Amino acid sequence: MTTDRIHFPQEFSWGTATSGYQIEGGDSNTDWWRFERDPDSGTVEPCGDACDSWNRYEEDLDIIQSLGLNAYRFSVEWSRIEPTRGAISQATLDHYRDVIASCRRRSILPVVTLHHFTLPLWVADAGGFENPDIEHWISDYARVVGEALGDGIGIACTINEPNIVALMGYLMASFPPKVSSWERFVDVNRVMRACHLAMRGALREGPGNYPIGFALSMQEYEAVDGGDDLVNSLRHEMEDEYLRSCDDDDFIGVQCYTKIFLDANGLVEDFEGERTEMGYLFWPQCVEYTVRRAAQFTGIPIIVTENGIGTNDDEQRIRYLGEALQGLKKVQDEGVDVRGYFQWSLLDNFEWTFGYRPKFGIVAVDRTTFARTPKPSAQWYGEAARNYPRSVAALS
């Protein structure tokens, strides 16, 4: 339940999202950095310097400000803050304090994620989310972040897509540690929920009275040819167990991109309809669907913490965002308490195993000079946000 202590921003948050590893560059003290160098990982290229946002965050924030957006979601890197167990890097904390202060100077709400897919090597080497001590380690880390940054944080997400870390890392064997086991997937999901609670507790002890939640990956699922059982069991693990566990959070972050089809054997790749560069179905209606579903399970405010499209065709991106925002308006009209929308992503960045090929950004990044060039979709989104809901009504 939201307590009186919590301060929710009065305005709807219109933002864009990134993550540390995908844009900072040089986050070498992580499981992902090592994973990319494993020839069997399936990663097409290493992350390397990413978008050099470690050095260029002011430039990124200038763009966000110029678009008239009022919020920015980014993540802080555990591997930089606590490079080895218990050794805290003050210089790193100072850096993130600067990022937060730079947001505040521009009237941009800093929405800070504490864990976005990567683990410090010392954690990964000790068994990561399968070591019973992870709950202590990650809450100690959250305590450090809360103490150092809490007075500036606008909204906090403890963990980004805990269910994707579990799915891709422990069932699909596509992310570190490359395991494929239903039991371990279920176990890690349970550990993730415990980690979130421990982190939330640690953050609440520190300064600041910002809302705290986590960001859940949700989808529209459709069962085809005998896929009902799989849809039910997967959705139970991926969504329902999480949505039932967050009543005492201040909000739930909903992240969605598409709709997937499952038959009795798993994911169906062969389906009708327009596709995105990721091979996903073009399905902006996932926003209204998942927000509605989250609202049915939880009585708490909802923030769309990620939504967007990987495409080289910026016109397709504009069409996607337009239809997504129309869906947002529909659920708001139905009375769902939505407090923000974050487009993924500000920059064309490192898309995990797919490397730099998929373009999720509203801003292009030159891979050699790191020069940023806003695309037409950046202007479009800024205007749509500033003029919402009029902008959306004009689309129908």
What is the amino acid identity at position 209? N
Instruction: For residue 43, give both structure tokens.
Output: 């990663």
Chain-centre distance of CA 202, in angstroms? Answer: 21
Q: Token pair 């410090």 is at which residue?
A: 120
Nearest CA to 81 out of 24, 128, 132 is that of 24
Q: Token pair 């520190």 is at which residue?
A: 206
Nearest CA to 377 out of 335, 314, 310, 322 is that of 314
Query: Are the beta carbons of 97 and 147 closer than 8 angstroms?
Result: no
Residue placing its CB nearer to ligand BGC in the complex, 19 or 377: 19
State the minimum distance, in angstroms, from the CB of residue 207 to ligand BGC: 27
Residue placing its CB nearer to ligand BGC in the complex, 32 or 57: 32
State the minimum distance, in angstroms, from the CB of residue 309 to ligand BGC: 9
Residue placing its CB nearer to ligand BGC in the complex, 17 or 243: 17
Residue placing its CB nearer to ligand BGC in the complex, 36 or 161: 161
Which neighbouring-strand residues pair with 373? Answer: 364
Instruction: For residue 240, give both structure tokens.
Output: 């329902």
State the minimum distance, in angstroms, from the CB of residue 93 to ligand BGC: 23
Bridging pattern class, strands 252-256 and 302-307: parallel
Output the DSSP codes for 92-161.
Answer: HHHHHHHHHHHHHHTT-EEEEEEESS--BHHHHHTTGGGSTTHHHHHHHHHHHHHHHHTTT-SEEEEEE-
Residue placing its CB nearer to ligand BGC in the complex, 239 or 306: 306
Residue placing its CB nearer to ligand BGC in the complex, 22 or 79: 22
Residue placing its CB nearer to ligand BGC in the complex, 160 or 391: 160
Side-chain half-sphere of 319: how many Cα atoms within 13 Å? Answer: 10
Angle between helices 314-333 and 286-297 in degrees, nearest 10: 30
**What torsion do the CA atoms of 346, 395, 329, 100 make, to the nearest 10 degrees?**
20
State the minimum distance, in angstroms, from the CB of residue 257 to ligand BGC: 6
Residue placing its CB nearer to ligand BGC in the complex, 216 or 246: 216
- C-alpha 341/C-alpha 385 separation (Å) is 9
Residue placing its CB nearer to ligand BGC in the complex, 138 or 164: 164
State the minimum distance, in angstroms, from the CB of residue 255 to ligand BGC: 6
State the minimum distance, in angstroms, from the CB of residue 124 to ligand BGC: 18
Which runs of consecutive H residues, i.e. helices, occur in the chain? 20-23, 31-36, 53-66, 78-81, 90-105, 121-125, 134-149, 162-170, 182-205, 228-235, 241-243, 286-297, 314-333, 376-386, 390-393
Bridging pattern class, strands 13-17 and 338-344: parallel
Residue placing its CB nearer to ligand BGC in the complex, 115 or 319: 115
Residues lying near ligand BGC in the complex (CB under 6 A): 19, 22, 160-161, 164, 217, 255, 306, 344, 351, 360
State the minimum distance, in angstroms, from the CB of residue 244 to ligand BGC: 21
Nearest CA to 309 out of 319, 294, 300, 296 is that of 319
State the minimum distance, in angstroms, from the CB of residue 22 to ligand BGC: 6
* Residue 240 DSSP label: I
State the minimum distance, in angstroms, from the CB of residue 10 to ligand BGC: 27
State the minimum distance, in angstroms, from the CB of residue 395 to ligand BGC: 24
